[in-house]
Amino acid sequence: MDRWLDEYDTVEFGRQSLEVLHTPGHSPGGICLLGSGHLFSGDTLFAGSIGRSDLEGGDHATLIQSITEKILTLPPEVIVHPGHGPDTTIGREKESNPFLQ
């Protein structure tokens, strides 16, 4: 079944479930998926970087707000799996990501 995902929806597959976090900024409909201590951040947050916001529909202030309010409020041990590059943790990004200082 195809449908739009809303904030805090749950995506279930097998025995797993992931919570939808609406994180616009890189793109208007950007989301991250959170479950069992893992965040799949797509192009919102990277190890030592953040997503681009200079493409059509992107907005830097919105991206920073999404990261600050939805992602950096998660526990520091949450493992972040970006859409590109190495994994990281919330704690590591809070401490050392130059785009979030």
Predicted local confidence at residue 69, as pLDDT: 98
* pLDDT of amino acid 7: 93
What local confidence, expressed as pLDDT, does residue 74 receive? 98
Q: Among residues 88, 99, 93, which one has the least CA distance to residue 63?
A: 99
Token digits for 71? 């992602």
Query: What are the residue ranges in the chain where pLDDT is below 70?
Result: 1
Model pTM score: 0.94
Residues 92, 75 contacting (CB under 8 angstroms): no
User: Domain map of the chain by residue range?
Assistant: 32-100
Predicted local confidence at residue 2, as pLDDT: 82
Main-chain phi, psi angles of 84, to 5 degrees: -145, 145
